[in-house]
A = this chain, B = another copy of it.
Amino acid sequence: MIVGKYGDDTMNEDILFNLMGNETRRLILKMLASGPCYTTEIADKLNIGQKAINEHMRLLQEADIVELYIKKQSRGSPRKYFKINKRVHMEFSVGPYRFDTNLEDLLDADFSDIFIEFPQLKTFEDEAKKTQHIHEIGELSLVMSSLTSELEKIIQAKEYLEYKVEQVRQQALILCEKLGLTDVEKRVVLEVVNAGGTLSSKDLSNRLRVDEGEVSIVLEMLERKYILERQ
């Protein structure tokens, strides 16, 4: 379930990498993640001039990660507050023969069929619903505690599977070396393994950024060597 992938015109991996490449912007987002803040608050806390902060806020707003709103104060004039208004999740992997990035917009995630695969999560759904009526910090903390301990377990399982995926990739690479494949043949074979066995020549051409004609020639060669088979 990859939800709400951004089009090329809005948020993409490159924009997010560029934004997150700056330490001050990371600190600003960290601050805003604990609640809305106003400019002087951010500038004071990070000990950075307001002008610089303004420039960072402009970039974050342009990327639509951060939103500005005006809040009346009990005393004095209204203040400009900033808050995070996106929910994004990004992953990337770098390794020999690997450079993958994936960006997801979690804002309109649909978890309606999660309980079919994971019936045990139903209890958390019920608990989380309760929090809307909970008026005690202590009770909220208890719900949080059970959520995070379940989350830790799930993260373990995820890391385990990712590690296994990496092992299989490594194994495929060793096999390619043994077969004495050329660099481009290697890349084709590794992409097919990554895809779990089947991939159209068009998808291959897109993923490897090699034109379809060349992909076809490589595929023919790999077929002749009995390494891949066309369907």
Contacts and interface: CB of A to CB of B under 8 A. Distances in A.
Interface of A: 1-3, 14, 17-18, 20-23, 26, 29-30, 32-35, 41, 45, 65, 83-99, 102, 104, 106, 109, 111, 114, 117-118, 121, 124-125, 128, 131-132, 134-135, 137-138, 140-145, 147-169, 171-173, 175, 183, 186-187, 189-197, 208-209, 227-229
A110 to B, nearest CB: 10
A136 to B, nearest CB: 8
A190 B134 CA distance: 15
Contact of A140 (B96, B143, B175): B175
Contact of A117 (B95, B104, B131, B156): B156
A208 B34 contact: yes
Contacts of A30: 99
Given A97-B33, A157-B117, A193-B137, A151 B162 contact: yes
